[in-house]
Every structure is written in C-alpha cells, then in structure tokens.
C-alpha cells in the first residue's frame, strides 16, 4: 500500500531525529559523543530496587491502577516541596503537573499554544528535540544568538519590536538558562531579570526548560527565572531523567493552574496519564532523599568528565577549532572553520575515524549552524573521551 499519498499534510514536518538516525550507523568500534545519555553508573540501582519492592508491597492496588491526568496527588505535593527546597520555587501542588519526561511537556506546549505562522523565540542554538516537537505545528522560529552569558537578551527587545510591527503573534520565548543543551552555557542573573522584564513589557510567556541546573560545576549565583515570576508567565519544566533515571520517563511542569488545565485536556487524548507505577517509585525516592544524596557524586563525576574533554580538546584540536567551556550539564558545543560542513564531516568521522557527534544544523532554527557540533561528555568513559577527541581532531584536520 502507498502510505505516502494518505499522510496528513502536517506529517511532512516530522523530521527524523538526527541523533536517532546517527545511532543506526554506530558499530561497537565507534566512540560516540552523539547521544545525551547519563552515565549508567549514576543510577541509584540498589535504592530503586528497594523502593520498587516497597511500592508493590505497600500499595500495589494504587500503584498499578489508572491514575489522574495531572499526576499522583502525593507526588505533586512532594515535588512542590522539592522545587522549593532545591530551587526556591514556590508552588502549590495544584501548580505541579506530571509529564512523560520533559519531552512530553514540549509536545503539550505545541498542542496548546502553536498555530501555523505563530512566532516562537528560542536561543540559537537550542535543544534539537524542542524544535522537532514544534515544527509539526508550523511556527515561525526565531533564534536569538548566545554568548558566554547565555541568550543575548539585549538583542531580544529589538527583535520583538520588529516582529510586533510586522503583526506577528509571538507565543512564547523558550530558554534553557542553566547549563544549556547544546552549549553548556548559563544565563547570568542580570539577563534572567532583564528577560522577565521584557516578557512583562510585551506580555509574553517564557518557557524555562531546566533539566541541568542540578549539574552546575561553577559557583555561578543564579536562580530559576520562575523564582522571579510574579505574573504567572513562566512555565517551568524539569525532569527526573538526569538525576534519577531516564527510563522512568518522568518530568514535571510548574505553572499557573489555568495553563495546566489546558495541558490536562491535551494530555488526556495523548496518553491519559503518566505511568502511575513510575510516579510512586519517584515519590518514595523523594521521601527517602535518594536524589539529593546521590547528586554530589554524580556532579563530581560529570565535572571530571567535562574537564577531561576540555583537556583533550586543548591537546589535540588544530587551530581554527573553538569550543564552549560549559558551566555545567552534559555537552560541549564546538565550532570548526566555516568551510567544513559537519554533516559531511560526520560521515568520514564515523566510517574512517570511528568517532561520532551530532552536527550543528538541527540545533539552529534555520539549519544555519553548519560548521558546529555537539559533543556529549557524560556517557563515554574517560579513556573514550581522550581517544575519541584525538580521532575527531584527525577527522577535522583531514577536512
């Protein structure tokens, strides 16, 4: 049967994840900086195993039953306490909404807010899978450049003014302010305040995506933008993926009740609710303080891995290659001379030099970052980091 002819017109905007496509090529002798996986040694396996046994023993009926769309009530209560104690975010349980990882929250944002032609403003580069989730809804994506202090907010107001003059409908500003994916850079506190001021002035929503503030390696004094929000315009996303285990697929949104009511409707038809069992496991994990007990060890490991990659880059890279010095998170963003297209480079890198990365194109709103790449430092071993960067430097020199 010819499926092509019956696809919905929006389906052509669904593009394959560059990262997933790339995984197909990778054989066991390839060192991959391509994925965004946590180091599996960080999973608190013994504690999770005890918690799983406890949940099945203590309340199997509830944990294995259907649940409510917004999430398990006790978990929403516990997360309200967690975001306050960890990040200073004041939220009532009714402001907490549980999702299937933060990725589902990104999809819900698209479903609830984006009409064809609406403007979404993002950092450039930004998280590849957020762009993928939203492209289906056919927005106009506008990228704001970054420097070492995050999004250059000084350029934002001008952009907004021009867009408004054209009659554009701006739906939200998307930012990953702390240890950004893909750059590892952190927005300064001054810029966070300024960003919120601009959003207030032009009455815009801010989506603050925050999976990585748990892994800030430098003593930078920043607070989530959500802590400064007095007018309910910040939608804050976070996730258990990097601090507990991504396999549970658990994320949370902190936002105004009115916004969450729309998310609730959108999620009902998507999947009814997030796994009840997984939610109870996280609930017990939080009650037993497993995450905060485990975090210092994970943070130290990732800091050492970042340093190992920075040292290897310094040692092996030829002149003309530059890279970010991430203040945290899981990634380094590297830039090669403009004549090198990193999509082409990737083919030789994998087939000849046995090393992989994600080309920059997909992280930009207009595919314009053709001479850049994202490198993950959390998943590979220390040996692989050193050897992989050596191989990557050879591939770049050959280009």
Give the binding site for ligand PMP (CB under 6 A): 36, 101-103, 127, 176, 181, 209, 211, 239, 241, 246, 251
Closest to ligand PMP by CB, 178 vs 371, is 178
Which of 101, 388 has the CB closer to ligand PMP? 101
Residue 239 vs 279, nearer CB to ligand PMP: 239
User: Of 133 and 317, which has the nearer Cβ to ligand PMP?
Assistant: 133
Structure tokens at 53: 């046994």
Cβ neighbours around 192 below 10 Å, total: 26
CB of 145 to ligand PMP, least distance (A): 18
Q: What's the half-sphere exposure (Cβ side, CA atoms, 13 Å) at 288?
A: 19
* CA 314/CA 230 separation, integer angstroms: 44
How far, in Å, CA of 269 to CA of 112, rounded? 12
From the CB of 211, what's the least distance to ligand PMP, in Å? 5
Closest CB 99 distance from ligand PMP, rounded Å? 8
CB of 87 to ligand PMP, least distance (A): 16
Give the residue with the Cβ less far from ligand PMP, 181 or 364.
181
- The smaller minimum CB distance to ligand PMP, of residues 150 and 211, is found at 211
Contacts of range 393-398, beta carbons closer than 8 Å, 24 or more positions apart: 393/316, 393/317, 393/318, 393/321, 394/353, 395/345, 395/348, 395/349, 395/352, 395/353, 395/355, 396/317, 396/318, 396/321, 396/336, 396/340, 396/345, 397/318, 398/348, 398/352, 398/353
251 or 388: whose CB is closer to ligand PMP? Answer: 251
Residue 225 beta carbon to ligand PMP: minimum distance, rounded to whole angstroms? 14
Is 67 or 211 the residue whose CB approaches ligand PMP more closely?
A: 211
Q: Which is nearer to ligand PMP, 78 or 209 (CB)?
A: 209
Distance CA 34, CA 22 (A): 8
Angle, CA of 266, 209 and 46, to the nearest 5° = 95
Q: Are 195 and 206 in contact (CB under 8 A)?
A: yes
Least Cβ distance, residue 128 to ligand PMP (angstroms): 9
Q: Cβ 26 to ligand PMP, closest distance in Å?
A: 18
The CB-of-241 to ligand PMP minimum distance in angstroms stands at: 3
What is the C-alpha R_g of the chain?
21
- Residue 304: asked if its preceding bond is cis (omega within 30°), the reply is no
CB of 205 closer than 8 Å to CB of 225? no
Query: CB of 36: closest distance to ligand PMP in angstroms?
Result: 4
Residue with smaller CB distance to ligand PMP, 31 or 250: 250
| Closest approach of ligand PMP to the CB of residue 246, in Å | 5
Nearest residue (CB) to ligand PMP, 277 versus 363: 363
Least gap, CB of 125 to ligand PMP (angstroms): 11
Give the nearest residue (CB) to ligand PMP. 101
């Amino acid at each position: 049967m010819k499926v092509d002819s019956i696809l919905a017109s929006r389906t052509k905007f669904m593009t394959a994840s560059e990262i997933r496509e790339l995984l197909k090529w990778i054989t066991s002798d390839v060192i991959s900086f391509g994925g965004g996986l946590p180091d599996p040694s960080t999973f608190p396996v013994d504690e999770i195993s005890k918690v799983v046994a406890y949940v099945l023993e203590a309340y199997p009926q509830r944990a294995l039953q259907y649940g409510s769309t917004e999430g398990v009530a006790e978990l929403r209560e516990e997360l309200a306490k967690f975001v306050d104690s960890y990040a200073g975010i004041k939220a009532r349980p009714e402001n907490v909404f549980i999702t299937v990882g933060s990725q589902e929250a990104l999809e819900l944002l698209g479903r609830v807010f984006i009409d064809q032609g609406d403007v979404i403003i993002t950092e450039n580069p930004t998280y590849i899978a957020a762009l993928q989730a939203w492209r289906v809804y056919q927005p106009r994506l506008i990228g704001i450049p970054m420097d070492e202090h995050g999004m250059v907010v000084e350029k934002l107001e001008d952009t907004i003014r021009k867009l408004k003059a054209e009659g554009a409908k701006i739906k939200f500003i998307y930012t990953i302010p702390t240890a950004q994916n893909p750059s590892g850079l952190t927005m300064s506190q001054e810029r966070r305040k300024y960003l919120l001021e601009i959003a207030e002035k032009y009455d815009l929503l801010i989506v603050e995506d925050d999976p990585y503030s748990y892994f800030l390696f430098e003593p930078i004094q920043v607070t989530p933008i959500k802590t400064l929000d007095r007018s309910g315009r910040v939608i804050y996303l976070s996730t258990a993926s990097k601090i507990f285990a991504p396999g549970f697929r658990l994320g949370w949104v902190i936002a105004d009740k009115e916004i969450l009511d729309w998310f609730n409707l959108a999620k009902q038809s998507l999947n009814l609710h997030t796994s009840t069992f997984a939610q109870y496991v996280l609930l017990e994990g939080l009650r037993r303080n497993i995450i905060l007990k485990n975090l210092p060890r994970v943070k130290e490991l990732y800091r050492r891995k970042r340093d190992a990659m920075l040292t290897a880059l310094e040692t092996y890279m030829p002149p003309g290659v530059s890279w970010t010095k991430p203040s945290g998170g899981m990634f380094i963003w590297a830039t090669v001379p403009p004549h090198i297209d990193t999509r082409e480079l990737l083919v030789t890198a994998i087939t000849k030099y046995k090393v992989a990365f994600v080309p920059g194109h997909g992280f930009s709103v207009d595919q314009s970052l053709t001479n850049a790449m994202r490198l993950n430092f959390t998943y590979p071993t220390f040996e692989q980091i050193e050897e992989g960067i050596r191989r990557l430097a050879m591939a770049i020199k050959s280009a």
